[in-house]
């Protein structure tokens, strides 16, 4: 039996050597499924060996951004420019050997920025500090890709992250999977499947040892999306792109870079000369989609100077986490005035999704302390 790495390499090679067309589509899909299963195995083994130990970063602030890029593109210089951090910089690769945090203020929010060791293709196999970097990337709210005029191969970085289960600027597929002990596999869909018709879904599922249970498609998913759901360890992260050292590029040189960087709309910066940094910070704040929630104690006006900062998609549950524990424990309902309320003062539960500038009163069980603000 060949080693795990050899099996992975062999399948990767077979995929590279198979022309993709209608006839080979399912075959390639099954190879990708096999690859996903082997990579899960590799991850499990790496965890057993304690990879990533000592790399834990305490998250703080309202959101966390990771700067991801090849060695020496200027990640540490950039961190030092936009935060008060002092991360070592140097004209040689792998200057940074651990995760260095800095803090950035944006509106009423604080954003944690993480500088990391450079990422290189082969990281998932352990090149550089690859595995550790990848595990941190999996936990951030936003990736800031940083490239420079000498390192423009963004695609290779994205491929490396994808291999580690990171899905960039994508939504989780609308596929529901339920395993059971017996009864065979039932596959149903609420829409017509154009990529996974004619038993393809079942064949992919079997690669994962999934023989009994249910798969329900609520969208016309691709083979890769089904593999993602079956693998189960995918994370969905947004990303933006900046090009550093851009003082070295003439306007035509910048324009020539753009097709290679699609679909990103890169921001050209120079960490050294401090140009483009305000626009970059604006983009970071915008991409994090913060919302401001005003807490209104019962019978009193809301304090509009001190919003609780949450992120779009957050619900009353996330709000409660940021309020005194007492309120979380005695919570009975929330009352909403503002954009997410169907009418002023609407009573909602923990799952209610909040909107920017909502005013919220937490209603607590009778007999417990009054709601605070
Ligand atoms: N010309 C130019 N050089 C820069 C700029 N920003 C950083 N540098 C230089 O690029 C080199 C690498 O910078 P670092 O900030 O250490 O790069 P890094 O991406 O953190 O590198 P690793 O930690 O090794 O991955 C240093 O010599 C910096 O002075 C810039 O905007 N323009
Ligand atoms: Mg560095």
Ligand 1 mean position, distance from CA 249 (Å): 16
Query: Pairing relation of β-strands 142-147 and 235-243?
Result: parallel
d(C-alpha 281, C-alpha 104), whole Å: 9
Q: What is the pLDDT of residue 303?
A: 85
Q: What is the pLDDT of residue 43?
A: 81
Ligand 2 mean position, distance from CA 154 (Å): 18
Number of other residues whose CB lies within 10 A of the CB of residue 21 = 8
Which residue is closest in CA terms to ligand 1's atom 24? 94
CATH 3.10.20.30 domain extents, the chain: 290-364
CATH 3.40.50.300 domain extents, the chain: 63-170+235-287
d(C-alpha 114, C-alpha 137), whole Å: 9
Q: What is the pLDDT of residue 361?
A: 96
List pLDDT tens digits, range 231-280. Answer: 998 999 999 999 999 999 999 999 999 999 999 999 999 999 999 999 99
Of residues 233, 261, 208, the one with CA closest to residue 124: 233
**Cβ < 6 A, ligand 1 pocket:** 69, 71-77, 89-91, 93-96, 117-118, 244-245, 247-248, 270-272
**Closest listed ligand to the CA of 244:** 1
Number of other residues whose CB lies within 10 A of the CB of residue 130 = 21
Q: What is the pLDDT of residue 257?
A: 96
Ligand 2 mean position, distance from CA 298 (Å): 50
d(C-alpha 367, C-alpha 362), whole Å: 14
Q: Which residues of the chain have pLDDT under 50?
A: 52-54, 372-373
Architecture of the CATH domain 63-170+235-287: 3-Layer(aba) Sandwich (3.40)
Contact predicate 44/232, CB 8 Å: no
Number of other residues whose CB lies within 10 A of the CB of residue 81 = 19
Which residue is closest in CA terms to ligand 1's atom 14? 74
Q: What is the pLDDT of residue 145?
A: 98
Backbone dihedral region for residue 337 (phi beyond 0: left; psi -120 to 50: alpha; all else: beta) = beta
Among 80, 90, 280, residue to substitute to test ligand 1 (most atoms within 8 Å of Cβ): 90
**Closest listed ligand to the CA of 100:** 2
User: Within 13 A of 152's CA, how many CA atoms are on the CB side?
Assistant: 17
Ligand 1 mean position, distance from CA 120 (Å): 16
List pLDDT tens digits, range 131-170. Answer: 889 989 999 999 999 999 999 999 999 999 998 899 999 9
Of residues 177, 219, 223, 174, the one with CA closest to residue 198: 223
**Length of the chain, in residues:** 373
Among 77, 127, 245, residue to substitute to test ligand 1 (most atoms within 8 Å of Cβ): 77
**Closest listed ligand to the CA of 248:** 1
Which residue is closest in CA terms to ligand 1's atom 8? 74
Ligand 1 mean position, distance from CA 182 (Å): 57
Which residue is closest in CA terms to ligand 1's atom 7? 74
**Closest listed ligand to the CA of 92:** 1
d(C-alpha 355, C-alpha 193), whole Å: 34
SS3 354: coil
Q: What is the pLDDT of residue 71?
A: 95
Which residue is closest in CA terms to ligand 1's atom 3? 245
Q: What is the pLDDT of residue 53?
A: 45
d(C-alpha 242, C-alpha 80), whole Å: 16
d(C-alpha 332, C-alpha 350), whole Å: 9
Tell the CATH superfamily of the 290-364 domain. Answer: Beta-grasp domain (3.10.20.30)
Q: What is the pLDDT of residue 304?
A: 86
Q: Give long-range contacts, CB 8 A cutoff, 24+ apart: 26-29.
A: 26/200, 26/203, 26/223, 28/223, 29/200, 29/203, 29/204, 29/223, 29/224, 29/227
Backbone dihedral region for residue 179 (phi beyond 0: left; psi -120 to 50: alpha; all else: beta) = beta
Rg for the chain, CA atoms, rounded: 24
Contact predicate 115/143, CB 8 Å: no
Ligand 2 mean position, distance from CA 149 (Å): 17
Number of other residues whose CB lies within 10 A of the CB of residue 135 = 17
Which residue is closest in CA terms to ligand 1's atom 5? 272
d(C-alpha 80, C-alpha 292), whole Å: 28
Backbone dihedral region for residue 300 (phi beyond 0: left; psi -120 to 50: alpha; all else: beta) = beta
């Amino acid at each position: 039996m060949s080693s795990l790495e050899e099996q992975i390499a062999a399948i990767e090679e077979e995929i590279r050597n198979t022309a993709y067309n209608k006839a080979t589509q399912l075959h390639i899909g099954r190879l990708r499924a096999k690859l996903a299963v082997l990579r899960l195995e590799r991850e499990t083994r790496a965890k057993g060996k304690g990879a990533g130990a000592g790399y834990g970063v305490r998250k703080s602030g309202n959101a966390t951004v990771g700067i991801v890029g090849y060695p020496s593109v200027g990640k540490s210089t950039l961190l030092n420019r936009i935060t008060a951090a002092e991360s070592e910089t140097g004209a040689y690769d792998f200057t940074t050997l651990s995760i260095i945090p800095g803090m950035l203020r944006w509106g009423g929010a604080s954003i944690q920025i993480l500088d990391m060791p450079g990422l290189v293709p082969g990281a998932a196999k352990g090149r550089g500090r690859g595995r550790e970097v990848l595990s941190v990337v999996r936990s951030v709210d936003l990736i800031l890709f940083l490239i420079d005029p000498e390192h423009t191969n963004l695609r290779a970085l994205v491929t490396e992250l994808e291999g580690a289960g990171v899905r960039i600027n994508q939504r989780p597929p609308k596929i529901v999977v339920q395993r059971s002990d017996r009864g065979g596999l039932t596959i149903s869909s609420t829409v017509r499947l154009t990529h996974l018709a004619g038993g393809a879904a079942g064949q992919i599922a079997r690669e994962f040892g999934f023989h009994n249970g249910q798969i329900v498609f609520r969208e016309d998913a691709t083979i890769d999306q089904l593999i993602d759901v079956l693998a189960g360890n995918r994370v969905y992260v947004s990303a933006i792109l900046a090009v550093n050292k851009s003082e070295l590029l003439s306007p035509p040189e910048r324009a020539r870079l753009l097709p290679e960087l699609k679909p990103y709309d890169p921001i050209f910066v120079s960490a050294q000369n401090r140009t483009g940094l305000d626009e970059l910070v604006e983009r970071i704040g915008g991409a994090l989609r913060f919302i401001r929630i005003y807490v209104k104690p019962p019978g009193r006006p809301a304090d509009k100077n001190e919003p609780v900062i949450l992120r779009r998609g957050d619900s009353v549950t996330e709000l409660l986490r940021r309020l005194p524990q007492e309120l979380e424990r005695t919570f009975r309902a929330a009352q909403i005035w503002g954009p997410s309320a169907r009418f002023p003062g609407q009573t909602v539960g923990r799952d209610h999704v909040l909107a920017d500038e909502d005013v919220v009163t937490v209603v607590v069980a009778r007999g417990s302390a009054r709601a605070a603000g």
